[in-house]
Structure formats: C-alpha cells, structure tokens
Structure 1
C-alpha cells in the first residue's frame, strides 16, 4: 500500500513538472518580443562585466566605469552597423540577379552530368532543391536580426541595470541565506564558468570572423565583411553553425567566380573552422564546458522555435548556462552529464 502511494506521488510529481515545463515554454513563446531583447542584453552584460569590474578595481567611480563600457559597446555596434548595413541592403537588392545566375549555372551542371551519362535523365533542380532559396533565407535572417537593434535603447537600459545589479548581488545573497558564504561560492563558480565560456567563445568567434573576412577579401568574393560577421555569429553554434555560415559564401562564389574558386573557398572555410573550432577552442575551453552533438542540434531547434534567429544564435550559450547550473548541484549533476559530450569523464 505504501509503495503504491509512493509510486502515485512520483507520477503526480512528474506530471506537475511536465505541465510546468509546457506552460513555461508556451509563455516564453508568447513573450518572444520581450524575452529576446532581455537575453541579448544579458549576453552583452556578461561580456561587459569583466572590463566593468576591472575599471572599478582600478579606482574609477561606478558611473565613469559604466559610461566607458557603454560607450565602448556603442562604438563597436556602430562600426559593425556601418560595415554590414550597406552590404545587407546591397545584397538584398541584388538577390533576384544572384538567384537567376545560380539557377542557370546549376542547371548547366545538371545538363553536363546528363550528357556525360552520370545522370540517367535531365532533372528540374527546383523540384529537388532550389539553392537560390538559401540567399533569401540569409537575407531574411540578417534583416530580422538587424531589426532587433530598433530596440537598441531598451537593450542598452537593460545592460546598465544588469551591470548595476551584479555589483549588489553578493550583499543580497548574504541577507537571503543562513549560509551566505556557501551560496556566494556556488554563484561565483557558476558565474565564472559562464564568463569563461562566453569570453573564450567570443574570442574564438571574433578570430574566425576576421580570418573569414581576410580570406574572402583575398579571394575577391563580394561582401567579405558581411560573411565574416555571419561566421562570427554562427560560430556560437558548434559544428552546425560553421556549416550554415559557409553555404551562402560558397554559393555566391559560384555565381561570381565559378566552381573552381568556390571549391577553394569551401576548403578555406573548412581549414579555418578546423583550426579555430577543433584545435584551438578545445585547448582553451578544457573539459566540462562541452555539449553532445545531439544536444547542440536539439537546442538549436528548440531555442530557434521559441525565440527565432536570435534563439538559434544563443541556443548553445543558453544550454551551456543551464548545464553549468545543473552541474553545480549534486542532485542535478546527472542531468548535466547527459547534456555533456559523448566522451564524458
């Protein structure tokens, strides 16, 4: 009888947790327009917090430290906006031309393969896959992401308040818990791991973006800065992101320079991403900050469905944050191990 009651209570507990999860996800989906700027502000605040505290440690007042960090952020965003804003508009205006050229070239390849006997019969490319649609997807995504900065003032305000709140957080913990030292250590450990991941990932992504930009500039591909920024952003999505980033650049190279140069661009992308993502990044990250390939793919779909393109870009940082929080407690560490890479220690 007692075992039956225990089983029923566990079943009820599971149903309550499952129902709560569904309600939370539905709420996040409905509040996408509010959550996306908040998460973007949180992500930027985490990146900005080390220099902010470093300036305070050098004896600068809080207000002056805040002003320096905010102006630095605005300067970086302005430079990026100037560099890629014109490119996005120009690329979007030339989309019909690129689509026509790409479809024509691909149909030419199919005709050649048919004549050579490699393909049994002539096929219509659009019935199988329309590669020109990739250009539309890229343009729509870039426009949607750039449209986020229409909420720039709101995001800026949230960053300021988040940075101010972080300063007083330890004092609040001391008042909240009976054992504040343990709580502060746990929060600091979580915060340090999140900061470490985001700092290293941002540095690697910047390096990847710069190398891609320089490489495409040398190759003579149009909009090298735009594709470099895209490589930087999508590098936050391990493995899958680098593949997505190379597709529009390779297709544009086919249209602009031909298949031979497109193959060189493809190889160049693979070399850059192998060095930065598979050699340098694991050495800097160390163990414990990885995710399994399946979890990366699922998180990409999940966060992308809830929060759109920004959710896709932040999918891995968000999932890594959840993993770090789960890993900080003995009760939930088992779930963090499940989220981790295939070769878990």
Structure 2
C-alpha cells in the first residue's frame, strides 16, 4: 500500500533518479547527441543570417543552402590555412635550431656569478679530499678468451630477436592514412545534414516541441516564454562571444606582427577561434606564439613582449570587454560556468567543453520555467536565491553583525531608508517573531538580533535624520503635530515604532516613542501627559494583533476624540478580517507599511500642519 509518506519520499528521490538517467543517456548516446548539439548551436548562430536573406526575397531552401555552404567552406578554408601554416612552420623550425640550443644551454647552465664560483671551488676541494679509488684486478687470460667477441658474435645466453614485417600494400597504406580521419569527417557530415534540416524545418520543429511539452499538461505561454528565453540567451551569448573574440584576436595579430613573430595573422585568427573554448582555449592560443618567440631570436626580448601582450589583452578582455558586453546575456553564475565546463568535458571531451555554456544555459532556462527542475535554476542561475530580508536575517542568525550591515549598506546604495525599513528590517523582525513563537529561536540569538537591529536603527538615524529635516522654524504660539507611538507588545514592536519616528519629518512632527514594559494604565497616563494629536499603535504579527486591539479599546474609551492609527507591519495573507476587528475596536486607520503610515499621519494631522505653515509669525519670518 502506498502511503502519503512513501509518496513524499519518492517525490524527493525522483529528481535524483531523473538526473542519473539523463546523465547516463548523455554519456552512452554521445555519438548521436554530439552532432545534434553541434547542429543546434550552428542553427542558433546561422538563423539570423537566413532570416535576413528571406527578407531580401530568397526562398527558405536556397537561403539555408547558401548560408550553410558558405559557413562550412569558411570553416574548411580556415582549417586548411591553419594546417598549411603549421606545416610550413614545422619545416622552418630547423632554421631556429641554433637559437633554441643557445636558450636551452642558458637555462641548463646559467652564467656563473660569485655563488657559482664558490660552489665550484667547494666541489674541487671535495674531489681532492676524496680517497683514490682502487684499480680493478686484471682478468685471467682464460676468462678473456671465454668472453664473446665484440664484433659479430652474440652471447649464447642472449639470442638476437627477429621480427617479420609483412610488406605494406596500397590498401593498408590508405587505411592507415585515412582511418583516423573517417570519424571526424563522418561527424562533420552528420552535423551539416542536421544543421540544414533544422534550419529548413525550424518552425515545424518548434511546433512539435511545444506540442510534446503540452502533452504533459504544460502551459502554452510558459512553454513559449521558455523557448524564447533559451533562444535569446544562446544567440546573445554567441554574438557577444564573437565580438569579444574579435576584439581579442585582432590586437593579438597586430601586436605579434610588430613584435616580429612569423605568421602573426594566423596566431590572431587562432586566438579568435580558440577563445570559443572556455578556460583552455586562451591558454592554447597564447602557448603557440610564445613558444615560437623563443625560437626566432637569440635573445629574450620577443618572448617578454609576447607574454606581456597576452597578459595585457587578457586583463582588458576579462575585466572590461566581457563584463561590458555580456551583462546578463547567459544568466549563469561564474561558478556555474566553471562547473559546467568540467562536467561537459568529463562527459563529452573537447566537444563538451565547446558546448558547455550553451547547453548549461538551456538547463538553467528549464529550471526557471519547470517547477520540478527549479533546483537547476538555483544552482546555475546568476540571480540571488535569497531575498535581502532573508539574507539579513540569516546573517544575524549566524551572529555575524558585520555581514548583516553589509547587506544593509548594499541595499541603501539603490533604495531609500524608508524602503529599507519596509522591505528588509521589518520582514526580518517578522521572521524572528515567527521563529520565537515556534520555539526555534533561543534566547541568546533573540537578544543578539534585537540589539543588532536597535543599534543599526540608531546609527541610520544619526546619518539620515538630519538630512530629512527641513528649514521650517517653529512659530511663536504655534505647535507641531504631536505623534505618540505605542508598542503593542514587545521590543520588536518598539523597534518598528522607532523606525517610523525617524521617517517622520522633524520640522513637521513632534514624535515620542513610549518604551515597552509599561502596564496599560501607565501607557494611558503617558498619553494623558503628552496630549498627542494622534496615537500610532505599532503591532508586528503574529502575536501583537490581539494586544493592539485591546489597546485600541482602552485608548478609545479614555480619549474618545483622539485619532488612532494601527500599523500591522508586514502582515501577510487575508488581512481584511484583522483590519475590521481593529476598526471595530476603535482604530481610525489601519496600515501595513511605514510608507502608508506616514501618508495617513500626514492626512490625519494636515489641519495642524497647515496651521503651523500659515501662522502670522511664520509668515512674517519668511518676509
């Protein structure tokens, strides 16, 4: 019998089983899947050119054939030129033999200095002190006659090995010559055929893929978004990679030409092409001309200039061009690209390294739109997986106040202080309250979290409150709007009240925050002494809502004419019932965020603020 527990366990194991099955298929079916993946990559790259030809009036099939043939002719021509240049370079290497020998001798026996002379002197002294070896005793004449002759006579105990080599026929010669080429040529042919048919039937293939996904009750809009997202990311990656490679390969060729490296254009072209292979490609592109720079001269200047050229261009490409052009083109994190390169290389070899980024982009898109594969987007994507409030709360749970402050500072670079309070600090306090009520937060951590947030609020208040103050002067005989903030239950409610007090303009409002720990009667006495124009009750769900309703009833009964505002900070779910209960208890307004609270306080105290601004004393002062 299948129980709910067994269903849960199976649902947790099924993604792992699915992943193992997919990896096994990718490994054992690589002879078919590698040409298919290469053809898909070429289809993404060539599709824009075919669309352009179709707009110019070409039919689909001629446009595809022209673009594909030109592409593979270009690839074949580049391969032929590169092979020819390499053969020519190999034939010219004997001319550089003397330079290579000199540099090897210098590396093996560097020019001697004072230390080398001292070392040589010590060796000579050691040889003089060493005992004279005893000469070997002469062998008897009989032993010498028994020994085998040095010329033409072999030892009877060591027979000479004989190997029969059959004559090489023409078929065997052709097989030995063309055999290693048949595999790559066959793969290239399959890639060409796949690419042509994918480009000719791309709309039909797209429709069939959509229909295949919809069989599993997929949604048409989600499927379309996923396909478009994957196509845009891969196409943009290939385009940006081509631009980056061009801005790298052209300076390489020009720089090597002025340094004096032979075949500089060849090395620039290879540098442009090899950068399509992540991580390994740039090293191979740099190794070949650096090796050649050692051979062409009897001094080290070309080698130094060549290494400096590649180092400077790599720094510019990695730190300027790639961040500027890539942006979020792939949607992959740097660590995901590195892991993907290792994984696909292990799975498919060198071709897997070339296809690593495009294939991983497709996996990340699947994880973004398919709920069962969401873990792929979490592992591979470049978007933050934790919201700012969760990151802030997690740092506090780890007792890491410095990193928590870093989260706040990073958020304040783009957002104002009020949004920081509403979107980060209050939700973090709400998470702490939930953990406390679930008994998942010990007392020490709870105290650390509250004290850290209190210190942070005070520090932000010192930095931002003076900047928020205006230039209004208090007119004689007039007063500012008096606001009293009551914490509904505990310290968390008081902290949110202090956030609100900071955000209210000090030149328009006189704000007092009553601390926690007072009895209800003492709170009412404080209100009576302060004579506020409005009372704001700060209540952080889930525990403070009931206490906020009780305070509303007591305040309304004692002060019938007083304006009462209740803040249910960061309340989630169906809040309408809680708002109705609080209004029934005597609240005039119920708000959910600090920005709403500020707006309601301004509206409720608008007559008082208007009286301050229009007072005769203030008008005379402005004149």
User: Is residue 208 of structure 1 aligned with residue 206 of structure 2?
Assistant: no
2:596 maps to which residue?
A: none
User: Is residue 62 of structure 1 aligned with residue 60 of structure 2?
Assistant: yes
Among 294, 310, 322, the alignment partner of 2:351 is: 310
Q: Structure 2 CA distance, aligned partners of 1:111 and 1:239? A: 35
Among 184, 204, 220, the alignment partner of 2:224 is: 184
Offset at residue 285 of structure 1 (A)? 1.8
The alignment partner of 1:87 has SS state of helix
Q: Structure 2 CA distance, aligned partners of 1:158 and 1:149? A: 14
Offset at residue 163 of structure 1 (A)? 0.5
Q: Structure 1 CA distance, aligned partners of 2:294 and 2:331? A: 35
1:133 maps to which residue?
A: none
Asked if 2 retains the 8 angstrom alpha-carbon contact of 1:173 and 1:183, the reply is no
The alignment partner of 1:316 has SS state of helix
Among 157, 175, 189, the alignment partner of 2:193 is: 157
The 1:339/1:15 distance shift into structure 2, 3 A limit, reads: closer
2:491 maps to which residue?
A: none
Worse-superposed segment, 323-332 or 200-209 = 323-332
The alignment partner of 1:112 has SS state of coil
The alignment partner of 2:349 has SS state of helix
Among 35, 43, 46, the alignment partner of 2:44 is: 46
Offset at residue 174 of structure 1 (A)? 6.2
1:26 maps to which residue?
A: 27
The 1:23/1:99 distance shift into structure 2, 3 A limit, reads: farther
Asked if 2 retains the 8 angstrom alpha-carbon contact of 1:66 and 1:160, the reply is yes
Among 223, 234, 240, the alignment partner of 1:194 is: 234
1:172 maps to which residue?
A: 208
The 1:103/1:318 distance shift into structure 2, 3 A limit, reads: farther
Larger-gyration structure (1/2): 2
Structure with larger RCO (C-alpha < 8 A, sep 6+): 1
Offset at residue 225 of structure 1 (A)? 3.7
The alignment partner of 2:110 has SS state of helix
Q: Structure 2 CA distance, aligned partners of 1:9 and 1:97? A: 69
Q: Structure 1 CA distance, aligned partners of 2:348 and 2:278? A: 19
Q: Structure 2 CA distance, aligned partners of 1:62 and 1:180? A: 27
Q: Structure 1 CA distance, aligned partners of 2:89 and 2:288? A: 11
1:273 maps to which residue?
A: 314
Among 362, 371, 375, the alignment partner of 1:321 is: 362
The 1:175/1:67 distance shift into structure 2, 3 A limit, reads: same
2:463 maps to which residue?
A: none
Higher strand share: 2
Structure 1 runs not aligned, ≥5 long: 122-143
User: Is residue 241 of structure 1 aligned with residue 281 of structure 2?
Assistant: yes
Higher helix share: 1
1:126 maps to which residue?
A: none
Asked if 1 retains the 8 angstrom alpha-carbon contact of 2:237 and 2:329, the reply is no
Worse-superposed segment, 277-286 or 332-341 = 332-341
Q: Structure 1 CA distance, aligned partners of 2:97 and 2:332? A: 37
Q: Normalising to structure 1: TM-score of the pair? A: 0.75
2:296 maps to which residue?
A: 256
Structure 2 runs not aligned, ≥5 long: 120-179, 387-623
Asked if 1 retains the 8 angstrom alpha-carbon contact of 2:342 and 2:353, the reply is yes
What does the per-residue CA deviation read over 1:211-261, in whole Å, with 9 as the maximum and x for residues that have no partner? 222222222213334422332233124555323421222122122234322
Among 306, 323, 342, the alignment partner of 1:282 is: 323
The 1:145/1:46 distance shift into structure 2, 3 A limit, reads: farther
Q: Structure 2 CA distance, aligned partners of 1:259 and 1:191? A: 48
2:84 maps to which residue?
A: 86
Asked if 1 retains the 8 angstrom alpha-carbon contact of 2:226 and 2:365, the reply is no
Aligned residue pair count: 320
